Amino acid sequence: MLEKKKKKKKKKKKKKNKAFKKKKKKKKKKKKKKNHLLKKKKKKKKKKKKKKNYPEKKKKKKKKKKKKKKRINKKKKKKKKKKKKKKKAKTKKKKKKKKKKKKKKYQLQKKKKKKKKKKKKKNVTNKKKKKKKKKKKKKKNLCQKKKKKKKKKKKKKKDQVQKKKKKKKKKKKKKKKPFKKKKKKKKKKKKKKIQQQKKKKKKKKKKKKKKHLKEKKKKKKKKKKKKKKTI
């Protein structure tokens, strides 16, 4: 339907342009003719001036000229009337077209409004659905949260029980193993003994060194005495 209308409009425009071109051509032709007539008139006038003055002939010619002028004016008036009529028809057509356009615009707006209303209605139902879905999701999440909490609590309890058990086991193990303690004690004793032996050795060495120094000193003294005696 819209394509048909567009085609019609295009055809109309083409027709209008053709008429306008024709009119322009006609006007140009008329102007050319008028200019030609004016030139002719001027030539005639010049020729007339050159000729002798014949009053009677002149009078007749004047009358003829007046008649011709009257006829031209009548033609002009008719043309003016025709032009006015055409202009009136054109404006009427324009007004009709404008009215049609306005009506079409109004109908389109009405259609759009209806569509918008329908969409709004649909959106309201969608909103309701979304709200319901959200509520359901919230409920589900709360349930899951509760379940998780319960699970956590259970796990905590289990862990505490296991911790307690481990502690008990450790205590029992500690109590059960006095051998470890004995071993530790033995190790300590051994370490002490080694340290004491080291100390004793050191002392012995020191004593030996002292004795040796003393003997050295004695020998030196003896040697000195002997030397003195010989002198």
pLDDT of residue 85: 87
**Residue 161 included in any domain:** no
The answer to whether residue 54 scores a pLDDT higher than 60 is: no
Chain center to CA of 162: 57
The amino acid at residue 85 is: K
Reported as a pLDDT band with limits 50, 70 and 90, residue 147 is: very high
pLDDT of residue 116: 87
**Residue 120 included in any domain:** no
d(C-alpha 158, C-alpha 165), whole Å: 11
d(C-alpha 144, C-alpha 14), whole Å: 75
**Residue 149 included in any domain:** no
DSSP letters for 167-224: HHHHHHHHHH-HHHHHHHHHHHHHHHHHHHHHHHHHHHHHHHHHHHHHHHHHHHHHHH
Place of tokens 């004047």: 62
pTM recorded for the entire structure: 0.23
pLDDT of residue 145: 92
The amino acid at residue 185 is: K
**Residue 211 included in any domain:** yes
The answer to whether residue 37 scores a pLDDT higher than 80 is: yes
pLDDT digits (tens, 9 = 90+) for 89-133: 889 888 899 999 999 999 999 999 988 888 888 777 888 888 889
**Residue 117 included in any domain:** no
Mean pLDDT of the chain: 84
**SS3 for 48?**
helix
**Residue 99 included in any domain:** no
* Alpha-carbon separation of residue 97 from 22, 73, 91, 92, 204 (angstroms): 24, 36, 10, 9, 139
- Total domains in the fold of the chain: 1
**Residue 86 included in any domain:** no
pLDDT of residue 197: 94
The answer to whether residue 52 scores a pLDDT higher than 70 is: no
**Residue 208 included in any domain:** yes
d(C-alpha 92, C-alpha 111), whole Å: 29
Mean pLDDT of 16-29: 82
* Domain housing 218: 195-231
pLDDT of residue 222: 82
